[in-house]
Amino acid sequence: MGKKDLSNDCPVIKVEGETLPEVWEKSVMKCWQGGIAIRTEYDKAGDPPSRDCTMIMEVTHPFKEPRLHRAFPAGLEDLEIYRQEVIFGIHDDWIKPEEGKWEYTYHERLFNYKAEGKSVDQIDYLVRKLSETPYTRRAQAVTWKAWLDPECSDSPCMQRFWLRIFEDRLQLNVHFRSNDAFKAAFMNMFAFTELQKVIAEKISEKIDKKINVGKYLHIADSYHIYGSYYQDFKGFLDTLKKRSFEERTWSTSFAEPFFEEGRKRLKKDKKGNLV
């Protein structure tokens, strides 16, 4: 038998580096250059097919500066709000599918997973399990509800957390079924490493020993750049050509005043007044 043609199969790509912006930038470029052209369920008539691949990103020092890429398509205030959404559940009260609103948040699924009339704080379980047995392979949290999510209009993209402690370093592997490479992945990575840090701190308190943030692995079955925003993406490509890496990134200290503005936005009531 002759060799099977695999040119139309989804490529598996791995990128690695020390920092979040370095690895995210590499991943987006590799997806653009090596991803296959394939349609999606969200395409409108006339949209080009997406670029798609299976992506594995390895960030060895997720809290090394610089931590921010200037080209991620959102504001720094929005990034802080998203961080608080994931860690503190500031938008959990928006979950009202019966009113046509949100069907879930990652915070709700991780901290308050409901099934069979029970509620499970999976993050609390992770802290307890890793404090008792740091080398366990059972320290995972899931978001998917098999009886509910397949029919959701916007089912969870992030599927699973898996954590393990190696010496004094907490590694986090995050698995996505689907991940928008350009418009969502960086914000996901930033927020989940912040949650990784929170878990490490909680374990440290529980065992009275310093546990540091270790490696971050971001795995996406479908890592894609949508054809519908190719024009926006070209601006990103131009940025890579015109600016050095230092000019394409920000440190956390630079971003902090903008994060503070995001926190102030969260304190405003519906009339726009500070509360």
pLDDT in tens, 12-68: 999 999 999 999 999 999 999 999 999 998 888 889 999 999 999 999 999 999 999
Segment 193-219 mean pLDDT? 98
Query: So what's the pLDDT on residue 259?
Result: 97
In Å, how far are 76, 140, 261, 272, 274 from 267, measured between CA atoms?
Answer: 17, 33, 10, 9, 6
For the whole model, what pTM was predicted? 0.94
User: Is 200 a domain residue?
Assistant: no
At which residue do the structure tokens 């990652």 appear?
A: 106
Query: 65: which residues sit within 8 A by CB, 6+ positions away?
Result: 19, 251, 252
At residue 4 the predicted structure's pLDDT band, cuts being 50, 70 and 90, is low
User: Is 43 a domain residue?
Assistant: yes
User: Is 268 a domain residue?
Assistant: no
Arithmetic mean of pLDDT over the chain: 93
User: Is 104 a domain residue?
Assistant: yes
108-155 pLDDT, tens digit each: 999 999 998 999 999 999 999 999 999 999 999 999 999 999 998 889
Q: How many domains does the chain have?
A: 1
Q: Which domain covers residue 29, as residue numbers?
A: 12-195+220-258
Query: So what's the pLDDT on residue 116?
Result: 86
HEC assignment per residue over 49-91: CEEEEEEEEEECCCCCCCCEECCCCCCHHHHHHHHHHHHHCCC
CATH number of 36's domain: 3.30.572.10
User: Is 267 a domain residue?
Assistant: no
User: Is 269 a domain residue?
Assistant: no
At residue 274 the predicted structure's pLDDT band, cuts being 50, 70 and 90, is very low
Tokens of 146: 């098999």
Segment 247-265 mean pLDDT? 96
User: Is 210 a domain residue?
Assistant: no
User: Is 202 a domain residue?
Assistant: no
- Looking at the predicted structure, is the pLDDT value of residue 7 above 80? no
Share of the chain above pLDDT 70, in %: 95
CA gyration radius for the chain?
Answer: 20
Segment 222-234 mean pLDDT? 93
Query: So what's the pLDDT on residue 3?
Result: 57
